[in-house]
Amino acid sequence: MQESPAFVSSDDLYLFNTGQLFRAYLTFGAHVMEVEGEPGVRFVLWAPNARAVFVIGDFCDWSSSDRSRAIELERIGTTGVWVGFGRGPGDGSRYKYELIDAEGERRLKSDPFGFRSELRPNTASVVTSLARYDWQDGEWMQLKRQRLPYDKPMLIYEVHLGAWRMDAPEQFRSYAQLARELVDYVVDMGYTHIEVLPLAEHPLDRSWGYQTTGYYAATSRYGPPEGLMELVDCAHRRGVGVLLDWVSGHFCKDEHGLRLFDGTPLYEPADYRRAEKPLWGTLAFDFGKPQVQSFLISNALFWLDMYHIDGLRVDAVASMIDLNFDKPDSMRTTNRYGGTEDIEALAFLRKLNETVFRYYPESLMMAEDSSSYPAVTSPTYLGGLGFNYKWNMGWMNDMLRYMETDPARRSDRHSLITFSMHYAYSENYVLPLSHDEVVHGKHSMLNKMPGSYEEKFANLRLFYGYWMSHPGKKLLFMGGEFGQFDEWKDDSGLDWSLLRYPLHDSMRSYVRDLNRIYLDRPALWENDHAPAGFEWIDVNNADQCMLSFQRRDKSGHRSVVVACNFSRRSYDVYRIGVSQSGIYRLLLSSDRANYGGSGAPMPERVQATDIPMHGKAYSIEIPVPALTVLMWETEEPASRFSNSYEEV
């Protein structure tokens, strides 16, 4: 059963051991191939401290005692790598590695580079080729290379695939079904991207994919790898990008996974104080180890290479770069300079981003980072971490605190909705309303809102309008678009039945229209990262809980004026300063009757007059209903227009 290990490139092994093999999945793991005309599977494994390694599986009755069918791997010199070729297994064979560690103990491990896993609770790896799918997204792949995202609209719909639609507990939609249903829905709603919670194989459904065992295996819960490829392909052919939540900060401790892989702390640090993540019950990666760098950076490229993923949302960056993140005093450590930054993790993130952008300069690399670490989205050659986007957790926390406040008391918290503009251009930001904000007792987006049933909807419409017009790209977790009333229930799916009730159905219509207005107005996204794209009109009106500002496109000629009334008081006449003369056309009133509002009369067009206001040479006079956001767009002068009031 043995073959010479000479067919494994010595260059690859050198690069792997120096942290420079960035497509290690092409070498490591199980690969169907022919050797000297004989079909079989080559297995390559990194386990430097093992005394012996066997591949066992359904081709040998899961026993290494039958040496005629089990595959014994051979160590390649001092590289720490083992290799072997077996003629028994083939495509679809289940297998595990049996390692004999330095103490003579037997360990059964799934393949760290396995391309597919058994459906949980089973944990074997499955020999799989990923080259069978016939991709049809060439036009998308070419187009995105020509369109960098910074001055483009970005509306991200965050999804947990298992709980988007579920007919009964554990009756998940397949990747292939989602390729039709989810993509159709996202296109209809006007989103530009789908962001999927982690899809790497994980043993526990309730971890949502954040505690991984199979980094190279798309979870089998929703079908075979080709199904996920079909989902991405269908999205691309409909003009929708796909982002993946990627977990490089930690891994779970299940026995078949990476923990103590060869009997020693191989993927995790040897110092338990640095290895343990007590908040999550997981283990950190040893980011300073070159082989771990090869493993993780190759994994990032793997999803972009093999599944055509358009970018990664890197989870829990704050926990990666802080040695003592959520750790008790007994576990606190310092770096070699006496500080608490994880120098090796910072270097890893820079190397990760440099590598991804070397091969995929058009990719989105987003940091989910709640820390105040500077220059997260600055280039590495300027000392930054090299991401191109960062989640704006400060904006999210401030805005939710403000919106959860009863309108009668919002005057005292006015700075919560204005402070974000003091730092809005320090990073390239995404404004996230994510799954993290609708779980663990935090309430759904709708149920965070104060007031009566109707006021909750009015507040949420108002909030979404402010969010959509604030500088920064946008992300909304599934269910938020129709006012899911309960917290996200990961084991039973979204409450689609709520759409039978008018206010929920109207909320979805509102979000759909809001998305379309956003997509069609460059003023709302072209200058997201430049101060020229935003100007306060009236920022200090805390007493009335009013806020007004304007967004401008790159030309500076087209603008959108936004007025937000965060109070319960309505104003029949309210004057707002504007920069340009001419006609202003109503783009949006969140108080429209078909959105569930009061339907208070509102003019479709108003004429700016030369009455100065708010430091502007001109002003418009408009009604402003309670708990309402209004958007007005400059329009070319017309010979005639109506000031008549209509229900809009």
Catalytically active residues are: 315, 368
- Give the Cα separation of 495 and 511 in Å (integer): 17
**What is the C-alpha separation between 624 and 573, in angstroms, rounded?**
7
Contact 158, 315 (CB under 8 A): no
With 0-12 CB in 10 A as exposed, 13-18 as middle and 19+ as buried, what is 354?
middle
Q: Is the dihedral of CA 286, 289, 291, 293 positive or negative?
A: positive
Whether omega for the bond prior to residue 121 falls within 30 degrees of 0, making it cis, is: yes
- Alpha-carbon distances, residue 303 vs 122, 175, 307, 360 (angstroms): 24, 16, 5, 12
- What's the token pair of residue 548? 């007004």
Q: Are 3 and 12 in contact (CB under 8 A)?
A: no
Listed in sequence order, the residues at least 6 apart from 565 whose beta carbon sits closer than 8 Å to its beta carbon are 462, 544, 545, 546, 571, 624, 625, 626, 627, 628, 629
CB atoms within 10 A of CB 206: 8
Integer Cα distance of 541 and 5 in angstroms: 74
SS (H, E, C) 459-508: HHHHHHHHHHHCCCEEEEECCCCCCCCCCCCCCCCCCHHHHHCHHHHHHH
Mapped onto helix, strand or coil, the DSSP state of residue 337 is: coil
Give me the sign of the Cα torsion angle 280, 283, 284, 285.
negative
Establish how many alpha carbons lie within 13 A of residue 34's alpha carbon, considering only the half-sphere containing its beta carbon: 3
> With contact defined as beta carbons under 8 Å apart, do 646 and 602 qualify?
yes
Angle between helix axes 225-237 and 175-189 (nearest 10 degrees) is 20
Q: Are 591 and 599 in contact (CB under 8 A)?
A: yes
Bridge partners, residue 56, by sequence? 96
How many C-beta neighbours within 10 Å does residue 437 have? 20
The residue whose two tokens read 């991405």 is 232
3-state secondary structure of 517: helix
What DSSP assignment string belongs to 190-251?
Answer: T-SEEEE---EE-S-GGGTT-S-SEEEEE-GGG--HHHHHHHHHHHHHTT-EEEEEE--SEE
The answer to whether the beta carbons of residues 99 and 80 sit under 8 Å apart is no
- Among candidates 404, 388, 387, which has minimal Cα distance to 396? 404
Cβ-contact 56, 94 below 8 angstroms: no
- Tokens of residue 230, six digits: 């079909």
